[in-house]
Amino acid sequence: MSLDVDKVTCTVAKLGNYPCARAIREGSGVSTPLFLAMGVVVLVCDAFDGAWAWGRVLGMSVFGIMGLILAATFSYTLTKAKDAGNPLLAAVCSVICFVVSLPYAEGGASALTSPLVGVDGAVAGAIVGLVVSELMAAVSRTRVCRLDLPEGVPPAVSGAIAAIVPSFVSLVAFGLASIGLSMVGTSLVGILSTWVQGPLVAINTSLVGCAVILILSNLLFCFGIHQSVVSGVLLEPLLLLNMCRDMSQVLAGNAVTEVMNMGLVSSFALIGGSGSTLCLILATLLFCRRDEWRECARDAIRPGAFNINEPVIFGYPIVGDRLLMVPFVVAPVVGLCIGYAATVAGVMPVFSAYMTWVCPPLLDAFLGTGGSLVAVGVQLLAVVACTLLYLPFLVAASRRA
């Protein structure tokens, strides 16, 4: 059995370190400061009624070109991860290929007026960025397409010349694909948005899909593989997409539609970090008499308040402990269900402002919902529930030791 676990963890670790997986995590991370800034804009608009016009302009400036942003960032990070040429050139080519792949506008209007340029085409932009990067890297490795230059040519000049063929091939390929698809009344971005982004977001950000991914990622964390290896690829980018959609709706004066977003998951499934370990710290300080664990909890509570929980995971340790593994995996799902049920029932508002992951519990619920004290109360309920869930396993582990 241990051999099987070792094989599984080794396989997942290899997949998580695959360049495309790293590019997805890092590409989302590159864009995160922009979305965090837009969360601050939403809070300012909530506080000052006169700021809404300003907020709408900023919102359109970011969310209205989200597909372009992700095409550039994902291509840049993948090219850099593979060390396969000039990442900036790949990003520029990806943006051009994404624009080429948009639906043809009627009446001579710019394709950039399409709603698929924004949040609706975000996943398509990311896919185009990854494909362009892979295509340019493959072409540059092909001997037939490689331009051999004398040794005396300066590196800057040789690099620019060597990128001509890969750039040309990628632009022509996407141009021909766009022409072909336009003949049958569709577009590449439209297809990806309808048949990839729609189902992917619907499945992975549903309550069941989100719970399954959280369970899997936290279970792997118990065997030493960081949860972001799984959730950072399959879940967090899509939750961030839903968060951006809600923020764009708020700034446009419309009702928010995506209950399951990054704000809800961060506040209710990551209380103190992966596994909601702040609840373990509270259970330890309130009920545990084991001196070394109490000392670990006292040391960990300050970073834990900012969702940094490595001192807990490796200090108790949770990794490899069969008793503490159970609440570590289950507690995030319990907290998420409480927050989701309260939101769907209308007890608390939908999270509509993105806060940084180091925002302390209670404060993140208050700011993320636009100043709702009810949301703070519901998060407190989730903290109590998860603390009680940790308690019997903590006591059993303490007695075993």
Per-residue model confidence as pLDDT tens digits over 347-393: 999 999 998 889 999 999 999 998 999 999 999 999 999 999 999 99
Question: What's the whole-number mean pLDDT along residues 161-166?
Answer: 78
Which range (145-149, 197-201, 218-222, 380-384) has the least confidence? 145-149
Average pLDDT over residues 138-154: 67
CB atoms within 10 A of CB 346: 8
Query: Is the CB of residue 211 less than 8 Å from the CB of residue 336?
Result: yes
d(CA 401, CA 398): 5
What pLDDT sits at residue 161?
Answer: 66
Residue 181 has pLDDT above 70, yes or no: yes
Helices (H), 252-321: 262-268, 277-287, 291-304, 310-315
d(CA 164, CA 259): 46
Nearest Cα neighbor of 210 from 53, 340, 20 is: 340
For residue range 54-109, what is the model confidence (pLDDT) as tens digits?
A: 888 888 888 989 999 999 999 999 999 888 878 999 999 999 999 999 987 655 55
The whole-angstrom separation of Cα 310 and Cα 75 is 31
Q: State how far the Cα of 190 lies from the Cα of 85, in Å rounded to an integer.
A: 29
Q: How confident is the model at residue 227 (pLDDT cuts 50, 70, 90)?
A: confident
- For position 198, what pLDDT does the model report? 93
- More reliable by pLDDT, 140 or 87: 87
Q: Cα separation of 212 and 203, whole Å?
A: 11
**If you average pLDDT over every residue of the chain, what do you get?**
88
In the chain, the percentage of residues whose pLDDT exceeds 70 is: 90
Among 279, 302, 306, CA closest to 364: 306
Nearest Cα to Cα of residue 170 among 203, 145, 195, 205: 145
Opening angle at CA 260, ends 255 and 265, nearest 5: 130
Chain segment 246-287, per-residue pLDDT in tens: 999 998 888 898 999 999 999 999 999 999 999 999 999 998
CA distances from 358 to 163, 273, 295 (A): 41, 9, 23
**pLDDT, greater one: 104 or 242:** 242
- CA angle (148, 151, 153) in 5-degree steps: 85
pLDDT above 50: residue 1: no
How would residue 3 be classed by pLDDT, with cut points 50, 70 and 90? Answer: very low
Q: Report the run of H or E that residue 23 belongs to, with start and end.
A: helix 19-47
Give residue 2's pLDDT. Answer: 45
Share of the chain above pLDDT 90, in %: 56
Residue 106 and residue 56 in contact, taking contact as beta carbons nearer than 8 Å: no
Q: For the segment 292-334, what is each residue's pLDDT rounded down to a tens digit? A: 889 999 999 999 999 998 888 888 888 878 899 999 999 999 9
What's the rounded Cα separation, in Å, for the pair 202 and 60?
A: 24
Name the burial class of residue 48, with classes exposed (0-12), middle (13-18) and buried (19+) by CB atoms within 10 angstroms of its CB.
Answer: exposed
In this predicted structure, the answer to whether residue 154 has a pLDDT above a threshold of 90 is no
- Contact in structure between 309 and 277 (CB atoms under 8 Å): yes
